[in-house]
Amino acid sequence: MAIQVTEKAIAAIQAAAAKRQTPPKGLRVGIRGGGCTGFSYLFEWSDAEARPEDRVLSFEDGRVNVFVDPKSFAFLDGSTLDFASTLMASGFRWLNPNVKSTCGCGESVQF
């Protein structure tokens, strides 16, 4: 399996990166401890190149790069990274089949 990134998400990453002062080397996504139900998602710019052990998802001829550490990859495998706009807000979301439950706020997950 793999991690899918939707076109909307790629466009959103590219647009957000363009607004940033320092062009990021990539977007780091992953799973971290914390949150009310055990795990939470990580979304942050990486100013450093991908680490040797990272999985790198490259789009738009290498202009958009998503870094995933191998540990997080195991949890995110099979998921889709999407960008959604609702009336209230817009942002990234994971469509993750491995998730057993999410908390009320949706910010933390259990596998």
CB 14 within 8 A of CB 83: no
Q: Give the per-residue contact string, 17-56, with other proteins (x = CB under 8 A; - = no).
A: ----------xx---xxx---x--xxxxxxxx----x---
78 part of the interface to other proteins, by CB under 8 A: no
111 part of the interface to other proteins, by CB under 8 A: yes
Residue 43 or 59: the one with the smaller Cβ distance to other proteins is 43
106 part of the interface to other proteins, by CB under 8 A: yes
* Least CB distance to other proteins at residue 62 (A): 19
E-strand ranges in the chain read 4-5, 26-33, 39-46, 55-59, 64-68, 80-85, 90-95, 101-102, 108-110
CB 82 within 8 A of CB 9: yes
* Least CB distance to other proteins at residue 47 (A): 6
Q: Which tokens go with 3?
A: 């991690």
Cα 57 to chain centroid distance, Å, stands at 11
Phi, psi of 71 (to 5 degrees): -65, -50
Enumerate binding residues for other proteins (CB under 8 A): 13, 16, 27-28, 32-34, 38, 41-48, 53, 70-71, 73-75, 84, 86, 89-95, 101-102, 104-107, 111
